[in-house]
Chain A
Amino acid sequence: MEETSMEEHEQTLETEVAPALIAVHPTQQSVAAAVGSDLRVFILEEGCSVALVDDSAGPLHKDSIRAIRYGAKGRLFVSAGDDKLVKIWSTNSWRCICTVSSEKRVSALAISNDGLFVCFADKFGVVWVVDLDGSHENQPLVNKKAVPLLAHYCSIITSLEFSAEGRFIISADRDSKIRVTVFPKKPLDGAHEIQSFCLGHTEFVSCLAFVYSSDCPEGFLVSGSGDSTVRLWDLTSGSLLDIFEVGAEDLYSLMEQNRRAIQPSLIYVPLLMAR
């Protein structure tokens, strides 16, 4: 997978472009693509693009977008990146219903499954949470404040995921660690109870995904890493269940299929089935 580290980006601002991102609506109703600071949405059924409405001054995002995401229910869409703004959109009207300011650049995003909370991680390893509090398109633009939820000390968080039913929030960082934290009933007070750490990767963890099966509705956590392995984890104990070594050829074909798509479950399910 193409790796663009934050440090490299800082040094070569003129020549480097943030990797393009793709996100797909849970019911495949629409697709969002972000290239640099540009964000575009296409309605697949109608085969046309949508004009995004953002009441704040200036272009939608002023700097490279680093993460985009649809909510599990498909009603919300979030985008964030180097301009330190987290924009929350309603997928009905494609209007920006909320803009949250971050102190640092944003590296990862997640929306809780019930659509009530948006979590984002900044460059210093702090994960913040915003309470959406039933915001929807009819309300005027509300600027919400985020509170810190948890932190990976001095580590850039590369991926954030909620588990099924939102019981846990999983955060992965560039120091090869994956932390599984209990997502509390009152997230604004912080998520202090760590359920487990999934340790085993020897390089940065690049992405996380969930795989569900009939005999395990809670799902298994799958992670991809710079150490060229894909690993399967048990969330509750943090133990490693399985490991898949990705050869150089497999990696190339993966890149061709899903250029930085944030639907890693599509990549990993075929891999797991190939074993």
Chain B
Amino acid sequence: MLEQESNSTISKTTRLPRKRFYRARAHSNPLSDSHFPVPISPNQVDYPLHYPQLFPSSDQVDGSKKIQFADIGCGFGGLLISLSTLFPETLMIGMELRDKVTEYVKERILALRIANPGQYQNVSVVRTNSMKYIPNYFEKGQLSKMFFLFPDPHFKEKNHRRRVISPHLLDEYAYALGVGGIIYTITDVEELGEWMKSCLDGHPMFEALTHEELEADPVVKLLSSATEEGQKVARNGGQTFQAVYRRIARCL
């Protein structure tokens, strides 16, 4: 039986994966113990798997080049794709809990690499629960940017502890981010925006970026425009609430 164009998961015209075959619910339960492989420690992260052109063989992983940007809950990969060409020398990774969505991003990156030789070699995605396994992927102070774009609001009070930004989890993000590293958060849910801002304000190892610093950072503009979620909010004329903070050394 001939495979019809309309049934193919990869579009024959653009060579990019078609989102409708990778549909998944927006919500995923972070408490459920899914079975995916987790590196025992950061030196077990498979660099040749994620960045084959930059690490052709396992022997060449000398530890000089490491992942510096992490998009937590990267969804369909919109931000990562934009960052990849903006920061071509930086290794970056997306972390996503949903299986189908992770597959979509993998296909998307593969297709972009084929269509643009030499580009998009610095970006990859991994299916994992970042609320439990951040220390498994990143050494202390390894990251210079962390992104939390349109996270699950978990509206009910009893579910607030499932929020990806919380006072306790900020300890782990502060561990993974080097001093001077930036954490970017954005949401279209006002209450969540206030929550994230107050968690960051209350944490001794983060300080807010000044207005001037926000203006000067090219990444800030991407927060609301680069992702599918952000574009949907803009289409619907919604408001977004962002909180961008810098990791500082602890003042005792």
Binding site for B on A (CB under 8 A): 124, 126, 148, 150-151, 153-155, 175-177, 179, 181, 184-185, 189-194, 196-197, 199-202, 238
Contact = CB atoms under 8 A, between A and B. Distances in A.
B171 A192 contact: yes
Contacts, number: 61
B110 interface: no
B250 A193 contact: yes
Contacts of A175: 132
Contacts of B136: 177, 199
A112 B175 CA distance: 24
Given A150-B168, A177-B136, A201-B40, 10 more contacts: A151-B169, A154-B30, A177-B135, A189-B204, A192-B171, A193-B171, A194-B174, A194-B175, A199-B40, A200-B41
B132 A150 contact: no
Contacts of B250: 192-193
A197 B172 CA distance: 10
B40 A150 contact: no
Contacts of B204: 189, 192
Contact of B203 (A126, A184, A192, A194): A192
A176 B203 CA distance: 27
Nearest to A177: B135
A232 B42 CA distance: 18
Contacts of A199: 40-42, 135-136
Contacts of B180: none
Give me the 3 closest cross-chain CB pairs, A-B, nearest first.
A151-B168, A199-B41, A194-B175
B140 interface: yes
Contacts of A126: 168
The interface residues of chain A, by DSSP majority, are classed as loop
B216 interface: no
Interface residues of B, number: 24
Contacts of A201: 40
Given A153-B132, A154-B31, A185-B252, A194 B40 contact: no
B48 interface: no
A155 B145 CA distance: 26
A153 B168 contact: yes
A184 B204 CA distance: 12
Nearest to A186: B252
A242 to B, nearest CB: 16
Nearest to B162: A154
A118 to B, nearest CB: 19
B10 interface: no
6 contacts: A175-B132, A181-B171, A193-B250, A194-B172, A197-B175, A200-B40
B205 A202 contact: no
Nearest to A175: B132
Interface string B35-77: 0000011100000000000000000000000000000000000
B233 interface: no
A148 B132 contact: no
Contacts of A176: 40
B131 interface: yes
A15 B213 CA distance: 62
A76 B175 CA distance: 33
Nearest to A238: B140
Contacts of A194: 140, 171-172, 174-175
Contact of A196 (B140, B168, B172, B205): B140
A160 B42 CA distance: 24
